[in-house]
Amino acid sequence: MLFTKEDFGDDFKWGVSTAAYQIEGAHNADGKGLSVWDVFSRQKKKINSGHHGETACDFYHNYAEDIALMYSMNIAHYRFSISWSRILPQGMGAINYKGVDFYNRVIDFCLELGIEPWITIYHWDLPQVLQQKGGWVNRDVVQWFGYFTECCIKLFGDRVKKWMVLNEPMVFTGAGYFLGVHAPGKKGLANFLAALHHAALCQAEGGRIIKTLRSDCIIGTTISYTHLEPLTNRHKDIAATVKVDALLNRLFVEPLLGLGYPTNDVKILERIERFMYPGDEAKLAFDMDFIGLQNYTREIVSHAAFMPFVRAKLIKANQRNVPFTTMNWEVYPASIYEALKRLGSYKGIKEIIVTENGAAFNDECIKNTIHDELRINYLKNYIQQVLRAKQEGVNVTGYFVWTLLDNFEWAEGFHPRFGLVYVDFDTQQRIIKSSGKWYSDFIRKPVIVPLP
């Protein structure tokens, strides 16, 4: 099937996404405080190859070059996040206006070039001083986050109209407070349940704060959504898939829609009641203007009798004779179609924007050229599936590639390269990959030749 950008309509938004800790560097510049990732990535054996994000892509000093690069690539929408500890080094209290000046420069230069800024308020980099008080396990985080949100809107809301409250809350609570593989490295069910409830409260409270301060803002939040299928048609595999789906995909979107936590399908979630105060169930709900969908792959689920709580496990892609990326994620384009259809079936969701989709492959730089045909094919096939969902009535109105630049990919360090632009982390040289050139050509505004 051949398709073009025009098939999506004139109002469809095409962009790229990044996150502060993954690209900014300048970890202690101009008054910035430490974040949980500054501390976690310096602990032994936490990050692949001992990498850390203290310099990363040095976007803090290269932002003008990178935004100009976006402009040259015809990218008209840029999603990025605000570093909490760059604005509020102590998490609360005094504002660091040198940090504010940096984001003002980024926002103003984007607007000067006709690039619309889309800001994610929280993309995983909690100030370390707040983690020392318990972080997301401490219910006070709702107050801390509310203050940070209020600062962001008052500082930047006059120019930025598109906001996302949280980035993939299931990932930062699950990986950071249950499995311990992401910052701050905490483990255990009690930590996880407390963190997820407080994050769900912040997700809705953040929306209410933004709407109260700036009624002209468009507000969303982003949900990681993985298409799941059972390994077999056996009842045990199907039941395991239902449980994994409730945890990975439904855990934050359903409370937001006023449906509560999916405790019927995962009984262990009933223990979250110990962290709930009277009135919390109503506080979990907020009418978002849009939901940001972040999808990369499909997972296959099987019953696992010895896995605690869910009795389920995921069968890794490299064990299934399927194509996969360097993240060991299956390349399965229909996954984004299935995710869009599923999210679109919720009555309370008015609009969906794909706020992340992309792939990491083993890119080779040969004579300042990166031919990444695998990524081009990935993007083509996934975008085609977005169009398929749109043509079937799903109100999907935008697509953002993860990511603009090769960057620090959390626990995986710098090895997975997701970028449309290659970064030499020793020299900070940028090279647009073949995939970046393809995306640029695909989203280019058509040349209109006036009739004589």
CATH at residue 340: 3.20.20.80
Pairing of strands 13-17, 298-303: unpaired
Q: Note whether residue 47 is domain-resident.
A: yes
Q: Which of 168, 330, 338, 409 is labelled catalytic?
A: 168
Q: What are phi and psi of 325, to 5 degrees?
A: -95, 180
Q: Which helix (H) or strand (E) holds 241?
A: helix 235-245
Of the pLDDT bands very low, low, confident and very high (cuts 50, 70, 90), residue 1 is low
Cβ atoms of 80 and 24 closer than 8 Å: no
Domain count, the chain: 1
Q: Which of 24, 205, 338, 356 is labelled catalytic?
A: 356
Strand partners, 292: 222, 353
Of the pLDDT bands very low, low, confident and very high (cuts 50, 70, 90), residue 451 is low
269-278, long-range: CB < 8 A, 24+ apart = 269/193, 271/189, 271/193, 272/193, 272/196, 272/197, 274/193, 275/139, 275/193, 275/194, 275/197, 275/198, 276/197
Of the pLDDT bands very low, low, confident and very high (cuts 50, 70, 90), residue 446 is confident
Q: Note whether residue 449 is domain-resident.
A: no
Q: Note whether residue 448 is domain-resident.
A: no
Q: What are phi and psi of 402, to 5 degrees?
A: -95, 110
Q: Note whether residue 374 is domain-resident.
A: yes
302: left (phi over 0), alpha (psi -120 to 50) or beta: beta
Of the pLDDT bands very low, low, confident and very high (cuts 50, 70, 90), residue 442 is very high
Q: For residue 162, give its domain range.
A: 5-443
Q: SS3 letters for 113-146?
A: CCCEEEEEEECCCCEHHHHCCCHHHCCCHHHHHH
Of the pLDDT bands very low, low, confident and very high (cuts 50, 70, 90), residue 449 is low
Q: Note whether residue 103 is domain-resident.
A: yes
pLDDT at 36 over 80: yes
Task: Supply the mean pLDDT for the chain.
Answer: 97
Q: Note whether residue 412 is domain-resident.
A: yes
Establish whether 356 is a catalytic residue. Answer: yes
Q: Note whether residue 46 is domain-resident.
A: yes
d(CA 120, CA 185): 23
Q: Note whether residue 239 is domain-resident.
A: yes
Strand partners, 303: 312
At 177-202, the pLDDT tens digits run: 999 999 999 999 999 999 999 999 99
| Full-model pTM | 0.98
